[in-house]
């Protein structure tokens, strides 16, 4: 079983076919960066058309059991998520609405301070806000997973502790391995995993040691050491693959509508663009390289199967439905 915890590709029939060639059973796809509720609904509509156009390749995913259906029918189950809470605007009632529409993950921040928490690019981390505490409670109730991939340290630790259900960092790597602003320090990973949460390892070059020159062995050795520290059962893959996207999309990610200036982010002081991918992971056909790489650094078959998909499957099964016992 192969599950990718995050992608934001420029979707096309070519990529849908590559998902099948790579044996990818399920993906979590970003359908909102800075869009408001109505604009996000248009993105749901766009995906509905793709499900109609390519029913032999992809299907909408709502529950972990949909992954079983996808595997039985040779398709990829597509699960939706937001990289920003902008689709719920300032209305807690929209949390249940977006879950009903099919959203299964929502980041509380995207780099900046939001109404809910602090992003990883802010100088001061004020933690989870008053509204954030209420939204986490509502997300827990309906089964919308709290994602802290772009959030600052204190906010992430507080979210892990406040949430009654496990949270996720869907796409990042350990800061000790590659000190990017977006990568996560020991205390953050520990808080997430000790509370039952998941960390998805990213192959986005700005998150890698030596960026696009990162070796497969280095990446897989990092995963093995992370498994030693926090337990392999809390780990998965979240490639952050942005295949075939134009460089202008990076500008939309970083800038949205909040500034007139260019936000350079983690790259060089030049206009943002997509860096070259490592040669061992250029598209969805290369998932087997990671699987073989994990085995080559000494991880056993059970650990590898978990990281490649089984752990995400379990997490989906436990966290996409309504909260029980309330």
pLDDT in tens, 30-81: 999 999 999 999 999 999 999 999 999 999 999 999 999 999 999 999 999 9
The pTM (predicted TM-score) of the whole model is 0.95
Measured distance between the N- and C-terminal CA atoms of the chain, rounded to whole angstroms: 33
> Measured over all CA atoms, what is the biggest interatomic distance in the chain, rounded to whole angstroms?
52
Distance (Å, rounded) from C-alpha 143 to C-alpha 322? 5
Q: Whose CA is closest to 105, among 146, 142, 47?
A: 146
Half-sphere exposure of 256 (CA within 13 A, CB side): 15
Distance (Å, rounded) from C-alpha 255 to C-alpha 34? 9
Query: What are the beta bridge partners of residue 3?
Result: 26
Find the mean pLDDT for residues 313-319.
98
Dihedral of CA 199/204/205/206: which sign?
negative
- Strands (E) in 110-185, as ranges, are 145-147, 168-169
- Strands (E) in the chain, as ranges, are 3-7, 26-32, 58-60, 76-82, 103-107, 145-147, 168-169, 198-201, 235-237
> Which DSSP category does 241 fall into?
B
Q: Encode burial over 196-208: b for 16+ CB neighbours within 10 A, e otherwise.
A: bbbbbbbbbbbbb
Q: Whose CA is closest to 195, among 153, 158, 249, 239?
A: 158
pLDDT in tens, 257-310: 888 887 766 655 555 677 889 999 999 999 999 999 999 999 999 999 999 999
Q: Is the pLDDT of residue 325 over 80?
A: no
Are the C-beta atoms of 215 and 242 separated by less than 8 Å? no
pLDDT for the residue 264: 67
Q: Is the pLDDT of residue 326 over 60?
A: no
Query: What are the beta bridge partners of residue 32?
Result: 82
Dihedral of CA 25/84/31/284: which sign?
negative
Distance (Å, rounded) from C-alpha 159 to C-alpha 104? 17
Distance (Å, rounded) from C-alpha 198 to C-alpha 313? 11
- 80's CB contacts (< 8 A; 6+ apart) are 28, 29, 31, 44, 47, 101, 102, 103, 104, 105
Q: Is the pLDDT of residue 248 over 90?
A: no
pLDDT tier at 227 (50, 70, 90 boundaries)?
very high
pLDDT for the residue 149: 98
Are the C-beta atoms of 258 and 112 separated by less than 8 Å? yes
- Provide the token pair at 147: 């994602």
Domains and CATH numbers, the chain: 3-319 (3.20.20.140)
pLDDT for the residue 267: 53
The alpha helices in 279-319, defined as continuous H runs, are 287-296, 301-305, 311-319
Distance (Å, rounded) from C-alpha 208 to C-alpha 178? 6
Q: Is 170 left (phi over 0), alpha (psi -120 to 50) or beta?
A: alpha
């Amino acid at each position: 079983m192969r599950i990718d915890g995050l992608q934001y590709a420029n979707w096309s029939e070519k990529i849908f076919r590559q998902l099948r060639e790579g044996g990818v059973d399920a993906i979590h796809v970003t359908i909102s960066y800075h869009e408001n509720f109505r604009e996000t609904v248009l993105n749901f509509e766009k995906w509905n058309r793709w499900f109609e156009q390519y029913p032999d390749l992809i299907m909408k995913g709502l529950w972990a059991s949909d992954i079983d259906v996808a595997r039985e029918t040779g398709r990829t189950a597509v699960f939706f998520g937001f990289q920003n809470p902008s689709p719920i605007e300032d209305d807690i009632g929209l949390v249940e609405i977006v879950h009903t529409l099919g959203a299964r993950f929502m980041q509380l921040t995207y780099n900046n301070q939001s109404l809910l928490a602090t992003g990883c690019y802010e100088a001061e981390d004020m933690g989870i806000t008053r509204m954030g505490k209420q939204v986490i409670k509502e997300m827990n109730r309906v089964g919308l997973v709290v994602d802290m991939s772009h959030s600052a340290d204190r906010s992430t630790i507080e979210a892990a502790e406040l949430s009654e259900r496990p949270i996720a960092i869907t796409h990042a790597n350990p800061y000790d391995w590659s000190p990017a602003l977006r990568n996560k320090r020991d205390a953050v990973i520990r808080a997430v995993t000790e509370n039952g949460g998941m960390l998805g390892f990213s192959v986005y070059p700005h998150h890698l040691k030596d960026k696009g020159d990162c070796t497969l062995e280095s990446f897989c050795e990092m995963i093995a050491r992370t498994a030693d520290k926090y337990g392999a059962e809390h780990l998965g893959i979240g490639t952050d693959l942005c295949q075939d996207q134009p460089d202008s999309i990076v500008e939309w990610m970083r800038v949205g509508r909040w500034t007139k200036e260019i936000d350079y982010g983690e790259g060089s002081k030049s206009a943002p663009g997509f860096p070259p991918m490592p040669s061992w992971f250029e598209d969805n056909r290369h998932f087997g390289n990671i699987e073989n790489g994990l085995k080559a650094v000494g991880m056993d078959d059970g650990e590898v199967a978990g990281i490649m998909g089984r752990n995400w499957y379990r997490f989906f099964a436990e966290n996409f439905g309504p909260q029980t016992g309330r």
